[in-house]
Structure 1
Amino acid sequence: MPDAALAALRGASHEASSRTNHTDGVWLADDEPVLPGIRPRYVAAPGSTAEAAAVLRAAAAHDLAVVVCGGMTKQDWAAPPRRCDLVLSTRRLIGVVEHVAGDLIAVVRAGTLVTELRQLLAPAGQQLALDAPLPGATVGGTVAVSTSGPRRMLYGTVRDLLIGVTVVRPDGVVAHAGGKVVKNVAGYDLGKLITGSYGTLGLVTECAFRLHPSPAASAYVSRRVADPAAAGRLVADVLGAQVVPSALEVDAPPEGGFEVVVLLEGTAEGVAGRAVRTIRLLGGDAAISDAAPGWWSAYPWGSGDVGLKLTAALSGVPALLGAALAARERHGVPLRLRGSAGTGVLYVGLPGTAAPQTVAGVVDALRAAARDVSGHAVVLTAPAAVREHVDLWGPVEGLELMRRIKQQFDPDARFAPGRFVGGI
């Protein structure tokens, strides 16, 4: 029996594409790697915004549920979608559309790898100041899940660096927001709305970013201490000084202790002077290196493990460090904590083999501790057995507003249904 949906998808792709063999853009998902928790029927890889819009119009006409994927680095984050008929890959939406070096602006297609973009901008002495905690992550996926790394302290998050975005809505309508000028804020709120929406509001095809000059020099100043109070004092000392760090990170491995690391960037002379002052601030056996620690800008968990994101007011970071240490000891699990002590964003990793009840106890303890310091605790990723025992999101303010936004963008709930908070 003919597959009407497949024929419609291929026809839409062919009509919008100049490629001769139109079946290359849409195919059955038989040989496609299975995404966590879902079994797609079709895969589409549009090569342009126009082709993506045509494919999504056909998908809407056949009531197909859609999940967008890029580098496949975060598909196990959040909840699995309730259903998925079509996987829409951004693998062909790659490259820099425009780089205006004089204005420090770049327009990039969503499937471009963050690491490749770094290489493309380097000859101009410029950078998109986003770290890549997960190798293989794409620009679109980074926006969709709002990932950032240590240097968010100086440069901000992806939400701060995104100044324009092109989005294809679930009904196939193309929307543009922002622009290529930093001070042009027309439609800028759409970019903020899309960022961190986990692909539930539409497909990002192009992003316009504000760039920064690449630093001429950098240095990492570090010191190891034994307890969270000491780590907290070092963090406070650095924040209170005039050393202008690009990042202020802390790492607490399962075997104990804390390592505080300060990243300094700038001119060679300026970095050297600030490094001397930072060594004095940290005291003790503080050391300087031109290379990052091995754990730098990586999440403290591996594939199949449990990963949490904690936030806190800056003054509450020491208390949150202490709560994580107490949870490790109380529940007897090799918990590892790492993150930006300079912004109050920390990450916790637990083995995927830990008993679900144990993980639930750790999550409850950390969620209570985060709440006490004006923060939150969210489970980003976990095995299926753990998900059955743990509320991934915890209490979330503004949930009804989020549901109304979802209704406006995706009234038929076809884009990654159920993946976001509250089953959105």
Structure 2
Amino acid sequence: MPATNGSPPLPPRREPVLRALADISGPDFARTARSVDTVAGRRVSFVTVPATARQVEDTLRIAAERGLAAMARGSGSKIDWGTPPAGVDLLVDTGRLGGLWNHRPSELSAEVGTGTPVRALQAALALRGQRLAVDPPSRAATVGGMLATNESGPLRHKYGQPAAQVAGVGYVDPEGRRRDTDLVGDDFEGVLLTAVLRLEPLPAARRWVSIPVSTPLQVHNLVDEALAQQVDPSAVEVDLPTPMPGGRTVEQPPGAVAVLLEGGAQSVVERAGRLVRSLGAGAEIAEIAPTWWGRYPFTAKDVALRISVKIEDLHAAVYALRDAAGGAVPIRGSAGVGTVHAVLPGDLAPDRIAAIVDSVRSVLMARSGRAMVISAPPAIAREVDIAGRRELF
């Protein structure tokens, strides 16, 4: 049987596997891997795109029987997060496992297929005046990918991590058995199928109050002041990019703190005005988010670090990172809850990266904080200590 992507015929031992996968998902939805079908820089062997829970069960059962390491893939935006697996033979693409059903607006609840793109879900919910209170920075994120990696954005300040928005999930375990649980994260392994989600009313109005900053200590002081005003922020974010060559003046600092306020129109306007007066000169109100809002400061070519620590100690962690790295390091994330992402160049030597991370960890140890590498280019990822998927929760 020839490969389905125009490549040479398969070796005899691989041909029965592809035939079995095609029998389960359909001949158009099972194929040998292409150059884009990689995990940790290594091409897998097969890709299948099941459309039903039964097809996922049969697929994982075949994989277990034949000793194939299987892994789910949504959009693939975070497939290289976490410790690189020893090897993946089969990608189970969740692209046909999407959909919204059992939407109960009066109960603020809905069940969705985990292959559903988060953005598409939000658009559908908005038609009924509701939303899922998550905003993952990965623009193509699916519900399953977001839950599997615990990916949260600015709204984590008020609503917590994605797991807090989930009443239950259905999944297929590695042996091909259907399971249900009210927990996500390290309590399951396999392929997520469905999630019952807790919803929120769509806010009538939103305003962003932003003020420029140039140092981690300024960030600390401004966040302290913003939270002291009791304006019920939905998010408090910081962006501290690397200063441009030549430096900048005091009037043009390189970063910003931004606070998101949501709710009724009159309430939001009143709270925004009160916050601007409190923060002082330079604070501004906008009806749209800053361009950097809800975006990661890193790319797939960078080494991405996550720092989590008590709010009052966040500036100490950032200073420690700068000292260890020998210069300014781009920082972005939720200053209001003490969780930010930092960027190290992807061309640093693995031992240099390890030394920087260890230095920051030693500072955080006494502050009950954590610093971890969450993603890196494949060559580096195999040489440094990268957080496992379970550590992301």
Q: Please indicate, yes or no, whether the TM-score normalized by the shorter chain is above 0.5.
A: yes
Aligned partner (choices 257, 262, 269) of residue 259 of structure 2 = 262
What secondary structure is seen at the aligned counterpart in 2 of 1:129? coil
Instruction: Provide the identity percentage.
Output: 37
The equivalent of 2:190 in structure 1 is: 202
The aligned counterpart of 2:75 is: 71
TM-score, normalised with respect to structure 2:
0.88
1:228 aligns with 2:240: no
Q: Which residue number in structure 2 is paired with residue 293 of structure 1?
A: 290
Do the aligned partners of 1:44 and 1:89 also contact (CA within 8 Å) in 2? Answer: yes
**Contact 1:115–1:132 (CA under 8 A) maintained in structure 2:** no
Structure 2: distance between partners of 1:70 and 1:276: 42
- Which residue in 2 is equivalent to 1:384? 378
Which of the residues 159, 162, 178 maps onto 1:158? 162
Kept in 1: contact 2:211–2:283 (CA 8 A): yes
Q: Does 1:24 align with 2:28?
A: yes
Residues 150-171 of structure 1: per-residue CA shift (max 9 Å, x gap) = 1111111111001110010111
Choose which of 201, 205, 228 in structure 2 pairs with 1:217: 205
- Correspondence for 1:238: 226
Q: Partners of 1:303 and 1:372 in 2: how far apart?
A: 31
2: CA distance, partners of 1:298 / 1:319: 23
Q: How far has the Cα of 1:25 moved from its partner?
A: 3.1
Pairing 1:95–2:99 present: yes
Quick one: distance in 2 between partners of 1:387 and 1:192?
22
Name which of 350, 355, 367 aligns with 2:344. Answer: 350
User: What TM-score, normalized to structure 1?
Assistant: 0.82
The one-letter code sitting in structure 2 at the alignment partner of 1:379 is V
Q: Secondary structure at the match of 1:378?
A: strand
Partners of 1:231 and 1:258 within 8 A in 2: no
Q: How many Å apart are 1:268 and its aligned residue?
A: 0.7
Q: In 1, distance between residues paired with 2:375 and 2:34?
A: 26
Deviations 1:317-373 (A, max 9, x none): 222233234345xx24x5200111111111101222334444333222222233232
Cα contact 2:207–2:288 (8 A) shared by 1 = yes
Give the aligned partner of residue 299 of structure 2: 302
Point out where structure 1 has 5 or more consecutive residues left out of the alignment.
15-21, 178-187, 394-418
Question: Whole-Å Cα distance in 2 between the matches of residues 31 and 343 of structure 1?
Answer: 39
Amino acid of the structure 2 residue aligned with 1:245: P
Q: CA deviation at 1:88?
A: 0.6
> What secondary structure sits across from 1:124 in the alignment?
coil
Q: Does 1:112 align with 2:116?
A: yes
Please report how far the alpha carbon of residue 236 of structure 1 lies from its aligned counterpart in structure 2 after TM superposition: 1.2
Q: Distance in 2 between matches of 1:237 and 1:298?
A: 24
Q: Quick one: which of 41, 45, 48 aligns to 2:49?
A: 45
Cα offset, 1:93, TM superposition: 0.6
Whole-Å separation in 1 of the counterparts to 2:155 and 2:390: 27
Does the Cα contact within 8 Å between 1:307 and 1:350 map onto a contact in 2? yes
Aligned to 2:331: 337
Seen in structure 2, the aligned counterparts of structure 1 residues 55 and 153 have a Cα distance that, compared at 3 Å, is: same
- One-letter code aligned to 1:369: V
* 1:85 corresponding residue in structure 2: 89
- SS of the aligned residue for 1:335 comes to coil
Alignment partners' CA distance in 2, 1:316 and 1:367 = 13
Secondary structure at the residue paired with 1:254?
coil
TM-superposed deviation, 1:257: 4.5
In 2, are the aligned partners of 1:167 and 1:176 still within 8 Å (CA)?
A: yes
8 A contact 1:301–1:351 mirrored in 2:
no
Kept in 1, the 8 Å contact 2:186–2:390? The answer is no
Rounded to whole Å, the distance in 1 between the matches of 2:349 and 2:17 is 43
Question: Shift of the alpha carbon at 1:63?
Answer: 1.4
Deviation by residue 1:53-87 (Cα, 9 ceiling, x = unmatched): 11111111111110111101011211221122211
Equivalent-residue separation in structure 2 for 1:70 and 1:137 (angstroms): 7
Separation in 2, partners of 1:224, 1:244: 21
State the match for 1:9 in structure 2: 21
Looking at structure 1, the residues matched to 346 and 340 of structure 2 have their Cα atoms a distance apart, in angstroms, of: 19
Task: Tell me the equivalent position of 1:408.
Answer: none
| Counterpart-to-counterpart distance in 2, 1:51 and 1:388 | 33
Residue 387 of structure 1: how far off its partner (Å): 3.1
- Between 1:32-41 and 1:94-103, the stretch displaced more is 32-41
- Say yes or no: does 1:277 pair with 2:274: yes
> Could you tell me how far apart the structure 1 residues matched to 2:323 and 2:276 are?
29
Q: In the alignment, what sits opposite 1:173? A: 177
Q: Give the structure 2 partner of residue 33 of structure 1.
A: 37
Of residues 335, 358, 365, the one that matches 1:371 is: 365
Structure 1 position 145 matched with structure 2 position 142? no
Deviations, residues 375-409 of structure 1 (Å, cap 9, x unaligned): 1111011123433553223xxxxxxxxxxxxxxxx
Gap change, CA 1:357 and 1:32, over 3 Å in 2: closer
